[in-house]
């Protein structure tokens, strides 16, 4: 991701993804270089399904990206790496992001995320 300033909705999603300590640890581990799920799970000390779930969330918001490759023994492996992102939070960038937030439907009211 090379967006200089994410939209308000993108920023909210990125910050929500980073609000989980395990996802922060995953990004920190991937900052040292790309890796695959099983190795990441061993490095971090959690199950593969849990790591995979968090990787999907980080990938969905553009903080990491995955690519399928064949291993030497012919197995398909998905490697993940950190994208080129930079978030700078200042009152001004938050004000700019707020201007681009999706306006809630007046009939439905605020989204579930806005109520929490």
Contact 69, 80 (CB under 8 A): no
- 82 within a domain of the structure (yes/no): yes
- 111 within a domain of the structure (yes/no): no
- 110 within a domain of the structure (yes/no): no
Task: Name which of 88, 73, 76, 77 is nearest 6 in CA terms.
Answer: 88
Phi/psi for 77 (5° steps) reads: -130, 140
Q: What is the CATH classification number for the domain harbouring 21?
A: 1.10.10.10
Confidence of residue 109 (pLDDT cuts 50, 70, 90): low
Residue 13 structure tokens: 């999603």
- Structural domain total, the chain: 1
Condensed to tens digits (0 to 9), the pLDDT of residues 53-70 reads: 999 999 999 999 999 999
pTM listed for this prediction: 0.83
* DSSP-based three-state secondary structure for 46: coil
- 108 within a domain of the structure (yes/no): no
Confidence of residue 5 (pLDDT cuts 50, 70, 90): confident
- Which residues span the domain enclosing 66? 8-101
Measure the CA angle with vertex 81, ends 26 and 17; round to 5°: 45
- 40 within a domain of the structure (yes/no): yes
Confidence of residue 1 (pLDDT cuts 50, 70, 90): very low
- 47 within a domain of the structure (yes/no): yes
- 109 within a domain of the structure (yes/no): no
Angle, in degrees to the nearest 10, between helices 8-18 and 91-99: 120
């Amino acid at each position: 991701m090379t967006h200089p300033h994410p939209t308000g909705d993108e920023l909210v999603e990125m910050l929500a993804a980073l609000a989980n300590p395990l996802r922060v640890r995953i990004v920190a581990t991937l900052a040292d270089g790309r890796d695959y799920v099983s190795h990441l799970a061993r490095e971090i000390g959690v199950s593969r399904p849990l790591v995979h779930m968090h990787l999907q969330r980080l990938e969905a918001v553009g903080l990491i990206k995955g690519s399928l490759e064949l291993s030497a023994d012919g197995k398909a492996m998905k490697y993940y790496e950190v994208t080129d992102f930079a978030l700078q939070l200042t009152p001004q960038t938050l004000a700019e992001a707020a201007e681009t937030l999706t306006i809630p439907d007046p009939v439905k009211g605020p989204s579930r995320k806005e109520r929490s």
